[in-house]
Structure 1
Amino acid sequence: MAASKKEQISQGALRAFAQNGYSETTMDTIAEAANVAKGTLYYHFKTKEELFLHVNQKGVEMLIDSVTGAMKDSTRSVSERMLYVLDEHLRFFAENRELCLLLLSISGDWQRDRLIGTVLSEYFATMEVYFRELQEEGIISPDLEVRTVASALFGMVGFTVLRKMFREEPVYTEETRSTLIRLCQGALGIKRMTEGENAHA
């Protein structure tokens, strides 16, 4: 099925923002990237700010859905699920590189960076609730401050992906997954998984 006009505009805007940055992207640029007439663009989105917020909100909702699915995977133990949540972050960012670039780059544009902070708040709230539940179940240390844990997880995976993108290296590799999982295990005190458990389903 062909993408709707709104979806077509959203995809074009994501490319334009990722390639040009927020400040240098105009509605004309977005219309060209999305291959739509300016009238069509303005019919769906009145301002660049509205479109930027839409693109990022949609991306963060996708990320939340992705990691929530890993959190609720009842085929794995609770501690195994924690590590698959990490793995899901890496897979998601590897498959959505332009979104990763938008969410993790600080532009110095106060309005743009404030919008990013706003759309990420729901993601961080979701992760903080999850980490508190893990603490209550004795999976991770009760001494850990969950807001810092959520921020560190997001930054660790996100900036690993960004650096690999800038170096034009493969992102979702077994070596990268294994290293991040071991770092996470050590930091959170999760028991080491066997090779069979460590394989991504």
Structure 2
Amino acid sequence: MATTAIATATTTPPVLHQLISLDTSLSQSLHTRFNPFIPGHLLLLLEYSADFRLFFPVSLSLYFAPFRRSFAIPFIAGLLIDLLFIGLVKSIFRRSRPHYNPNMIPAVSVDHFSFPSGHASRVFFIAAFASFFAVFESTSWFLLFVWTWALLTSVSRVFLGRHFVLDVLAGACLGVLEALFVFRFLRLSIVAVSFHKI
């Protein structure tokens, strides 16, 4: 038994162990300080607004607006890529969710793994994709709204005690990279196919 404990302790590099400890302390401090002052219904609203079970059916409806299919197809594909990629990364790292909020209140039920944040990756994917697409349109007020929503939703994950700070930062970075990939490759492929059909 002692051998197992020693083996487990030595598998994590000291620098990584210190980073995780710092991340846990910072996240718990933010959760403890800010959660009591923020209305629970606001945190729930942010959580539900970015929940895949709600957001994906709404996004899927964009496909049936013909004038927006060049946007909708890569957007929906990106949401599915995000779901699969986040699930894969979570299954590899298997970082437990914060221990200081075991009941996950006030929150909906989700998987047991924390790194990276799926909500953060989703909202930053949406914000980044909207920004890339808006190169062709003038929608600055909409982009301001979407980026504000993405930032508030991501921060709320820490305030709720659902995620650590590093989970949210990693999720946000992955979301932006996914949006860049989808916009650069999938969108161009779809435009090329549509052009070829004409």
- Give me the TM-score of the superposition, normalised by structure 2: 0.29
Greater RCO (Cα-Cα under 8 Å, separation 6 or more)? 2
Q: Which has the higher helix share?
A: 2
- Give me the TM-score of the superposition, normalised by structure 1: 0.29
